[in-house]
Amino acid sequence: MSKIGSDVPIIYKMKCHQEQKSVNATGCQLGDPTGTRTIVVMGDSHAAQWVPAIDKIAKDRKWKLVTFTKAACPVTRATILDNGKPYEQCALWREKVLAEIAKLKPDLVITSQSNYTGVARDAMVEGLRSVWGEITSQGVRVVAIRNTPFSLFDPRNCLGTDPGKCVNPRGEVERENIYALAAQPVAGVTVVDMNDALCGKDSCPAVAGNIVVLRDNHHLTATYALALAPYLAKAAGL
């Protein structure tokens, strides 16, 4: 089961997923390097978890893909806390990435984010609208993927013993779709909800078909994300 935890997007091995202390707007170049259209992925590790699917989408369409991701740093101008203090490296990184996006002039920006319970709901919403509005004002479309559910357990701890018990009640692990709320007044933002591909009507299993869904209690395995590429493409209108 230890191999599950290492089933991560290639951007981790390429060393361009930024850790918390970094403020470098370092992007990974993926997709089709000769493409004339460009997708950008921006966000925290919950945006990064979708890179295998988005890379497949980009390659199939002969688009370039540039990824800007950073640990625990969502795409919002709300103040994010790190150990109770403002996460200044996140704010600096975000603004640098927005400057890179303005230079790149991509056709599409795809983002997602984890839950940030330490941020007031209204502040998070306004912060998202501020960033999304800046991007869409440049004529760039935004696709915001609803956060995936957190598991009540780490699948690595139960799949090796009793896989039948590695199931979460959907109602207990699915949180409010804050992206749907934030996107309402922002033209050019499409909110995509992929949770039906992770969960049944009432439950969210750790294994779908023969693929392990989560590599820990809140990140998709790269293998499962890749399998969802055609469904994400369809949901995003691509």
For residues 200-206, average pLDDT: 94
Phi, psi of 217 (to 5 degrees): -90, 5
Q: What is the mean pLDDT of the chain?
A: 94
Q: Residue 164: its pLDDT value, please?
A: 72
Residue 238 domain-assigned (yes or no): no
Q: Where are the alpha helices (DSSP H) in 137-207?
A: 170-173, 178-183
Residue 206 domain-assigned (yes or no): yes
Residue 19 domain-assigned (yes or no): yes
Is the predicted pLDDT of residue 10 greater than 90, yes or no? yes
Is the predicted pLDDT of residue 137 greater than 60, yes or no? yes
* Residue of higher predicted confidence among 25 and 1: 25
Question: pLDDT tens across 46-81, in order?
Answer: 999 999 999 999 999 999 999 999 999 999 999 999
Q: Residue 173: its pLDDT value, please?
A: 94
pLDDT confidence of 32, banded at 50, 70, 90? very high
Q: Residue 230: its pLDDT value, please?
A: 98
What count of other Cβ atoms lies within 10 Å of the Cβ of residue 130?
15
The rounded distance, in Å, linking the Cα atoms of 11 and 164 is: 32
Residue 163 domain-assigned (yes or no): yes
Question: pLDDT tens across 80-116, in order?
Answer: 999 889 999 999 999 999 999 999 999 999 999 999 9
For residues 5-13, average pLDDT: 92
Q: Residue 2: its pLDDT value, please?
A: 57
Question: pLDDT tens across 149-198, in order?
Answer: 999 998 888 887 776 778 999 999 999 999 999 999 999 999 999 999 99
Q: Residue 159: its pLDDT value, please?
A: 81
Residue 86 domain-assigned (yes or no): yes
Is the predicted pLDDT of residue 229 greater than 80, yes or no? yes
Residue 55 domain-assigned (yes or no): yes
For residues 200-218, average pLDDT: 92
The rounded distance, in Å, linking the Cα atoms of 83 and 13 is: 27
Residue 16 domain-assigned (yes or no): yes
Residue 170 domain-assigned (yes or no): yes
Residues 41 and 111: beta-carbon distance below 8 Å? yes
Nearest by Cα to 112 from 91, 132, 126? 132
Is the predicted pLDDT of residue 7 greater than 70, yes or no? yes
Number of domains in the chain: 1
Domain that holds residue 199: 2-233
Q: Residue 88: its pLDDT value, please?
A: 96
CATH number at residue 177: 3.40.50.1110
